[in-house]
Structure 1
Amino acid sequence: MSYTTKGIPQGRAYYWLNKVRESAIGELVAINEYRDHISKSNVEEINDLWRHIMREEKRHYGMFLEIIRMYDMQEMNKFIKVKEHGTCIEKEKVHCYKIDSKECILNLLRTDIKGELEAIILYEQQMVEIPELRVREVYRHIVGDEKKHVEELTAMLMKYDRDNYGAIEKFNI
C-alpha cells in the first residue's frame, strides 16, 4: 500500500536504515487501509482477500522491524528493555469492524492496487539504494508478495466490475 499517508512522502530518507523505517511505515499504513476497507464491505469474498493480504502486510512490518533491530543497537536494546519490563500484558484481542457500505467497493479495490504498485516502486528503489545484501533479499521477497497482491486484487476487481479493462484477461476466481 501507499508508503505514506495519502501517498505524500514525509521527507527524504538518506540513511539506508531510515529507508527501512520508511518501508515499515508503509506497511502500517497498508494494514490500516485494509482494516478500514474490510469495515466498509459486506462482500465476504473480497473481505477474505483483504484479510489475507493484511496478514501478509503485518508479516512484512515484522520483517522490516526485525531488520531495524538487527542493525540499530539502540533499537534492539529498547526492544529488549520493553520485553523484559513486561509492560505489554496479554489482553483480549480487539476487533474493529463495522459495516459502512456507502463506499464503492470497486473504488477501494482500485485504491488498494494503486497502493501495492506504490509499494513496489518504493521497495524496488530501496533495493538499489541499500548496501546490505541480506536486507535487499528481504525487500526482494516482500516485492514478490506485493506483486502477487496486485494480481490478486486485479483478479477480484475483474470478477466484480462489469466493465472491461482492455487487454487484461478475465480470471475465474
Structure 2
Amino acid sequence: MKEIIKCVVGLIIVILIPILILRMPIKHVEMKINVTDGPKQDLDKDEVTQIYVGNYPEDPGWIVYGKDGVMFKGSNKADHIFVVGNFPNKMNYTLINTNVFVLNGKYIGEKKRKGIVAGCFYVESWGVFGKLKRESGFGDSVSKSSLTIYDQISADPILVYDSDEFENVDDYKTSK
C-alpha cells in the first residue's frame, strides 16, 4: 500500500511541477493607464510619446488605437505603423491577438520596406494596456499582469523590424 501511495505522489509531483513552472511569471507587463475617448491625433516626428497599438496581421504589422491618454473614437483609427526598437520580435500569438500594447518611444517618420510605406515607431519601453488577456482555457491561476515561462516557450515571430531594414521615404521620393 505504501508503494502505491509513493507512486501516486511521485506521479502527481512529476505532472504538477512542470505545470507550475510553466505558469511562473517572468516579466511584468501590465500598465494601468487612464484614458479618455477623443479624436484621432497625428503622430509627431521625433516627439517622445506613448501610443496604444493592436496587431495587424500583414505588413506593417500594427495599427494605432490611441496616443497619450486618448483612445481614438469611432472607426477612424490612426495609421498602420512599423515597430522597431525595444519590443520583442517573438511573442505568443494569442497574446498578440487579444491585447492592446502600450509603446513608449518616438515616431520616426514614414519609412519604406519591401514596397510598403508606413509610419515607423521606435519603442523605448512597452507593456500591455490593463490586465493581460488570455485564452479562457488557462483559468484564473495564470498571471494577468506578467508574461510567463509558457509565454516565452510558445513565442512565435511577430512583425517587428530592425531599423536598417528601411528606406527613408524622402530618399525614395527624390530618387524617382
TM range (shorter): under 0.3
TM-score by length of 2: 0.23
Bigger radius of gyration: 2
Whichever structure has more strand as a proportion of its residues is 2
TM-score by length of 1: 0.23
